[in-house]
């Protein structure tokens, strides 16, 4: 039997209904035909606003179609009488883990679903046990939901749905807000549920890597299905994907680049496959370079630089909830760096970043601080923190100037927009920092900032920031920070939650700024590929300490640091590691572009380049 069946479904949003919150004001499905077999694992891919989330909401009656027929497990989903039964059978896990938890205690939250359908007390207990076991969170039964990590919260949300014993599970971008570790946790659970519990899974995502795990992948664009088939085939359709604002999975990007240069490799989807395909063509080029390149840190006081020595910070000191967020951080960021800060949630990176523009002030810089107490707390006295040439350990420092010169873009910055017009919102920071500006000066600065983030000034200046699309909102929020022309720009997860193309655009925007006027860009990221692709130097935080700081190349050369911090390697580094297993050592660059160049150079010089010539001829 078919689990889900859409026949010629038409649907359109009433633009006014959702204006304030939806990312795309108008949007429609038109004559959509789509079906999912029972037990199947289908991934639906599409950029933000392609209609993929509407698909999920239509399936369990949160939305109802204007025309056409939707059948779920043989029940007509457009008939309101069936809704209760359908919702019992179709569980949805949404994007934001915080907004789908009802209770403060894990087991109470999981009990919510079964309670709603009138399950007996003892049976609810059994279901909680089953659901928690299925997502591997049994030991968290009595925990507080708000204290869990993102991945754990999302697994609890899955358990909450599982407790209803559904036949179909829909994941509506459930991994979009998670870090890579959380994403993996969730995907492992989903895969197991599909394989072992035979639950039909509809996975809505914009990560091509996740779609690879499915039995079938479907690509949506403008409310229509444009591709459908085996994930490995669908995800190889470069042209169509590009049209839908999607990108090839990273391994495939490398394969395609090699292929277009005449190297005969087949399409690969993981590092090991790529390595074993490449290994015979490559030769050892790198010598064992284990010369430990420990960077010495030196104080320069230069504009655009950060120097930090022995920085510690404790939340809620002298209370039972005291947590040591930073334990003696030594760190240096040079002027001109595109610097990456990596580490897990709770590793101290966010706390560190907040020190950079004195959102957290050192105790010695507080107004109340009296030097007399110094003897009591001898540790703070040898802390050094210098940002953009300003000494942050002194209370005489001009902190307003600091904040003006050190721009800070927080995670999901679009959530801090507040003004009636885009112009007013962008001008907010500017007016705060410079009280005596004339109207013309303000206008020209705002115009410049809005144009710098790639938006049309005349088009957006008088619009409400809330009517813009998600990607545009983020740009406006960034414009609101760069309007003061900071020398150092700090961004916490600038690309989080964006679709692949949106990510690329934001990163290239940052590079343009970095090259033209912003001395130093610092990004905090969970995405190792993003770090490898963009940064010239990076630091790994773990347990409130700096594990290592170096160029990405040195950092990811060995996996000891990333392993210690519980992080992944970027894909290119994984390939090189796998190559090492095949007896090929190479010292390639970590960005996809340069990595391919290095590979090509290596293939040319090695004798095994026959395949190259053949390939080259056929290509020409």
- For binding to other proteins (CB under 8 A), which residues are involved? 20-21, 57, 60, 62, 84, 87-88, 90-92, 94, 96, 98-105, 107-108, 111-121, 124-125, 128, 145-146, 157, 160-161, 164, 315-316, 319, 321, 354, 357, 359, 400, 403-404, 407-408, 410, 413, 415-419, 428-429, 432-433, 466, 480-481, 484
Residue number, 144 or 462, with CB nearest to other proteins: 144
Residue number, 57 or 384, with CB nearest to other proteins: 57
Residue ranges of alpha helices (H) inside 373-438 are 399-405, 422-433
Residue number, 465 or 471, with CB nearest to other proteins: 465
Residue number, 130 or 184, with CB nearest to other proteins: 130
Least CB distance to other proteins at residue 412 (A) = 9
Measured in Å, how far apart are the chain's first and last C-alpha atoms? 50
Token code pair at residue 151 = 């991945």
Least CB distance to other proteins at residue 425 (A) = 9
Residue number, 173 or 267, with CB nearest to other proteins: 173
Q: Any idea which residue has 């569980």 for tokens?
A: 91
What is 527-560 written as a DSSP string? -HHHHHHH-SEEEEEETTEEEEEE-HHHHHHSSH
Least CB distance to other proteins at residue 396 (A) = 17
Least CB distance to other proteins at residue 18 (A) = 9
Least CB distance to other proteins at residue 23 (A) = 11
Least CB distance to other proteins at residue 141 (A) = 12
Least CB distance to other proteins at residue 538 (A) = 23
Separation CA 337–CA 331 (nearest Å): 13
DSSP 3-state of 475: helix
Residue number, 161 or 227, with CB nearest to other proteins: 161
Least CB distance to other proteins at residue 226 (A) = 27
Least CB distance to other proteins at residue 467 (A) = 13
Contact call for residues 542 and 565 (beta carbons, < 8 A): yes
Contact call for residues 194 and 43 (beta carbons, < 8 A): no
**CB count in 10 Å sphere of residue 385:** 24
Residue ranges of alpha helices (H) inside 434-499 are 439-452, 457-460, 470-482
Q: Any idea which residue has 């292929």 for tokens?
A: 259
Least CB distance to other proteins at residue 403 (A) = 6
Residue number, 113 or 500, with CB nearest to other proteins: 113
Residue number, 407 or 609, with CB nearest to other proteins: 407
CA angle 474, 475, 480 (to 5 degrees): 95
Residue number, 246 or 353, with CB nearest to other proteins: 353
Residue number, 43 or 56, with CB nearest to other proteins: 56
Residue number, 93 or 550, with CB nearest to other proteins: 93
From residue 516, alpha-carbon distances to 441, 491, 512, 519, 551 in Å are 21, 17, 6, 8, 22
Give the residue from 278, 220, 224 showing the smallest Cα distance to 575: 278
Can you say whether residue 53 is alpha, beta or left, with left for phi > 0 and alpha for psi between -120 and 50 degrees? alpha
Separation CA 226–CA 343 (nearest Å): 38
From residue 210, alpha-carbon distances to 41, 187, 190, 196, 413 in Å are 11, 8, 11, 19, 26
Least CB distance to other proteins at residue 42 (A) = 19
Q: Any idea which residue has 């409400």 for tokens?
A: 464
Least CB distance to other proteins at residue 158 (A) = 12
Cβ partners under 8 Å of residue 370, min gap 6: none
Separation CA 502–CA 310 (nearest Å): 38
Residue ranges of alpha helices (H) inside 218-340 are 231-234, 238-243, 250-260, 271-278
Separation CA 353–CA 521 (nearest Å): 12
Residue number, 219 or 478, with CB nearest to other proteins: 478
Can you say whether residue 8 is alpha, beta or left, with left for phi > 0 and alpha for psi between -120 and 50 degrees? left
Residue number, 145 or 393, with CB nearest to other proteins: 145
Mutual angle of helices 250-260 and 592-605, in 10-degree steps = 40
Residue number, 204 or 612, with CB nearest to other proteins: 204
Contact call for residues 171 and 211 (beta carbons, < 8 A): no
Least CB distance to other proteins at residue 377 (A) = 21
Contact call for residues 220 and 227 (beta carbons, < 8 A): no
Least CB distance to other proteins at residue 496 (A) = 14
Least CB distance to other proteins at residue 560 (A) = 34
Separation CA 22–CA 186 (nearest Å): 26
Residue number, 110 or 584, with CB nearest to other proteins: 110
């Amino acid at each position: 039997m078919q689990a889900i069946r859409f026949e010629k479904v038409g649907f359109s949003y009433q633009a006014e209904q959702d204006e304030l919150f939806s990312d795309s004001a108008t949007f429609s499905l038109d004559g959509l035909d789509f079906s999912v077999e029972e037990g199947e694992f289908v991934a639906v891919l599409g950029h933000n606003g392609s209609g993929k989330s509407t698909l999920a909401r239509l399936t369990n009656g949160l939305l109802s179609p204007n025309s056409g027929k939707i059948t779920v497990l043989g029940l007509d989903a457009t008939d309101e009488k069936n809704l209760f039964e359908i919702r019992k059978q179709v569980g949805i896990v949404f994007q934001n883990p915080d907004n789908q938890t009802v209770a403060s205690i894990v087991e109470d939250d999981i009990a919510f679903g079964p309670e709603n359908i009138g399950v007996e007390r003892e049976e609810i207990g059994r279901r909680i046990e089953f659901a928690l076991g299925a997502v591997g969170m049994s030991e968290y039964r009595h925990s507080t939901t708000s204290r869990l990590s993102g991945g754990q919260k999302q697994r609890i949300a899955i358990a909450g749905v599982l407790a209803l014993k559904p036949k179909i599970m829909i994941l509506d971008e459930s991994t979009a807000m998670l870090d890579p570790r959380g994403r993996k946790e969730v995907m492992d659970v989903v895969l197991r549920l599909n394989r072992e519990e035979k639950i039909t899974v509809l996975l809505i995502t914009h990560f091509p890597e996740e779609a690879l795990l499915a039995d079938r992948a479907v690509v949506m664009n403008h409310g229509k299905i444009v591709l459908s088939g085996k994930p490995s085939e669908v995800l190889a359709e470069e042209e169509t994907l590009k049209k839908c604002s999607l990108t090839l999975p990273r391994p495939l990007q490398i394969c395609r680049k090699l292929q277009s240069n005449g190297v005969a490799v087949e399409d690969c989807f993981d590092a090991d496959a790529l390595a074993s395909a490449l290994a015979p063509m490559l030769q050892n080029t790198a010598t064992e370079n284990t010369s430990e390149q420990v960077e010495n840190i030196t104080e320069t006081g230069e504009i655009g630089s950060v120097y930090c020595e022995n920085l510690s910070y404790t939340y809620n000191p002298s209370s039972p909830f005291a947590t040591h967020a930073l334990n003696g951080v030594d760190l240096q960021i040079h002027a001109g760096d595109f610097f990456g800060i990596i580490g897990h949630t709770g590793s101290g990176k966010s706390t560190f970043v907040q020190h950079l523009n004195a959102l957290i002030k050192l105790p010695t810089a507080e107004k109340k601080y009296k030097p007399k107490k110094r003897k009591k707390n001898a540790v703070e006295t040898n802390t050094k923190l210098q940002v953009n040439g300003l000494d942050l350990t002194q209370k005489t420092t001009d902190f307003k100037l600091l904040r003006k010169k050190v721009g800070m873009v927080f995670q999901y910055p679009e959530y801090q927009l507040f003004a009636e017009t885009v112009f007013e919102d962008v001008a907010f920071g500017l007016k705060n920092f410079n009280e005596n500006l004339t109207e013309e000066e303000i206008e020209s600065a705002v115009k410049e900032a809005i144009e710098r983030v790639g938006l049309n000034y005349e088009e957006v200046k008088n619009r409400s920031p809330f009517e813009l699309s998600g990607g545009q909102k983020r740009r406006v929020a960034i414009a609101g920070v760069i309007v003061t022309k900071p020398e150092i720009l700090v961004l916490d997860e600038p690309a989080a939650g964006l679709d692949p193309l949106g990510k690329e655009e934001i990163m290239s925007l940052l590079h343009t700024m970095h090259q033209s006027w912003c001395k130093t860009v610092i990004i905090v990221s969970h995405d190792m590929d993003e770090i490898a692709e963009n940064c010239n130097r990076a630091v790994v935080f773990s347990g409130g300490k700096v594990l290592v700081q170096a160029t990405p190349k040195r950092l990811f050369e060995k996996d000891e640091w990333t392993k210690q911090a519980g992080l992944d390697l970027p894909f290119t580094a994984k390939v090189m590691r796998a190559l090492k297993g095949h007896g090929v050592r190479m010292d390639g660059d970590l960005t996809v572009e340069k990595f391919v160049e290095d590979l090509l150079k290596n293939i040319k010089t090695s004798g095994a380049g026959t395949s190259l010539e053949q390939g080259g001829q056929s290509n020409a």
